[in-house]
Structure 1
Amino acid sequence: MNKIVLTLALVFGMTACGNNTAKNSSGTEQQTAQSEKQDRVEVLYFHGKQRCATCMAIEKNAKEAVEAQFEAQLKNGALVFKTIDISKEENEAIADKYEVTWSSLFLVRYQSGKESAEDLTKYAFANARTAPDTFKQGLTEKINGLLD
């Protein structure tokens, strides 16, 4: 019974967080093209116009973890944190690229001209609001693994 209630709550929360149609972006494409010249890891937090408490916790805690643990990598460009509003027209291309239609968290690694992406959305929704320290630790470990 508890699993059913939790599942329904998660579904309703996710529905409230998204279902916005993204629009096209030449600005984001230019920014992405410029940064693709360097090997790096990107933390991409996608959100829509309306956000629930969990969505806001994902952004807040992901940003806090990245800024606290990876200051040097942020400064030298080895790590990039981006918040992307998929309800804005200029972000349609990147939302389409990752097939994002609601709040999502991705880690993307660019190495030797190749890109690999990991979807951490389920992990983020399960932990960011209710277990922020666990979320931050897990995100930090994932990023460290990609930076090695």
Structure 2
Amino acid sequence: MKTVKSILLAITVVLFVFAASAETSVSTKTEGDKTEVYYFHNTRRCPTCMAIEKETKKVLREQPYADAKENGELVFKSYNAEDSANKKLVKKMGVTGSALIIVKGDKTIDLTSKGFMYALKQPEKLQEAIREALND
């Protein structure tokens, strides 16, 4: 039974990775010059999903991002994609489950694939991808 659950979890993760477009730009407006970092997750979270959020938060505690968060120029928001209260935002952002998305003005950067590739085994690569997206 454990093997079946493990296989189903692995298949789910793979589907999320393929469903997410790797670093695509989509037109999505935000207020003013604010940068928004969205992390969407499901109710049941795998170790990789939790690591993506952890590594993202780690980067956002660094300078200059910590100052930008404090003055409201940078916002981090974590949402349960399965929660009906978030249904409208989930649809607007086009996510189906776990997703790491950075919105800067009219540019949207999807780091979901990199999150799943690197969060557990090579977190420094995910951190660097987040920094690059924030500094772009």
**Normalization by structure 2: what TM-score?**
0.76
Does residue 48 of the first structure (1) align with residue 39 of the second (2)?
Answer: no
For the Cα contact (< 8 Å) 2:41–2:80, is it kept in 1?
A: yes
For structure 1, list consecutive stretches of 5 or more residues without a partner in the other structure. 1-7, 18-35
Does residue 106 of the first structure (1) align with residue 101 of the second (2)?
Answer: yes
The corresponding residue for 1:136 is: 127
How big is the shift at 1:41? 0.9
Runs of 4+ in 1 over 4 A off after TM superposition: 8-11
- Show CA shifts across 1:82-114 (max 9, x none): 10111211100110011111101101012xxxx
- Percent of paired sites with the same residue: 34
For structure 2, list consecutive stretches of 5 or more residues without a partner in the other structure. 1-6, 17-29
The corresponding residue for 1:57 is: 51
CA-based RMSD of the aligned residues comes to: 2.3
How big is the shift at 1:118? 1.4
- Show CA shifts across 1:2-55 (max 9, x none): xxxxxx8995251697xxxxxxxxxxxxxxxxxx44311111000010111100
**Normalization by structure 1: what TM-score?**
0.70
Name which structure has the greater RCO, CA cutoff 8 Å, separation 6+: 2
The corresponding residue for 1:77 is: 72
Does residue 38 of the first structure (1) align with residue 36 of the second (2)?
Answer: no
SS of alignment partner, residue 68 of structure 1? coil
